[in-house]
Amino acid sequence: MNARAQRDAGTTGYSVREICRLVGISARQLGYWRLIGAVAPRVERHGAKTFYRYTDKDLRLLREVARLTALGLPISKAVEWVRSGRSAAPDPAAPAGEPR
């Protein structure tokens, strides 16, 4: 069963490698975003190894956060903006919380 079929069946999620490729960020950057709480993937432990699995919701959040950080918004503000459900992109020069 391929990764897409497994996701559709609900048995697994996106791997770190898949998420990085789909979002366009490095594994190190994804690890930092996970560390600061921007995203909370499912954790799978197999012996001494730890694997992180990301959902479609995580993928959408990460894509939007990556887009906003590329516009110059700090990661904390980008995550806050996405989680608030706002649709318009903020102006990085405007005071926090105000759309352009």
Domains in the chain: how many in total?
A: 1
CA dist., res. 100 & res. 94, Å (int): 7
CA dist., res. 49 & res. 72, Å (int): 35
At 100 the pLDDT is 46
CA–CA distances in Å: residue 74 to residues 55, 61, 70, 92 = 24, 15, 9, 8
At 98 the pLDDT is 53
Give the domain extent around 28.
10-83
pLDDT tens for 29-75 read 999 999 999 999 999 999 999 999 999 999 999 999 999 999 999 99
Let me know if residue 94 belongs to a domain.
no
Would you call 12 helix, strand, or coil by DSSP?
coil
Let me know if residue 41 belongs to a domain.
yes
Q: Where residue 21 sits, what CATH number does that domain have?
A: 1.10.1660.10
Number of CB atoms found within 10 A of residue 28's CB = 9
Number of CB atoms found within 10 A of residue 60's CB = 12
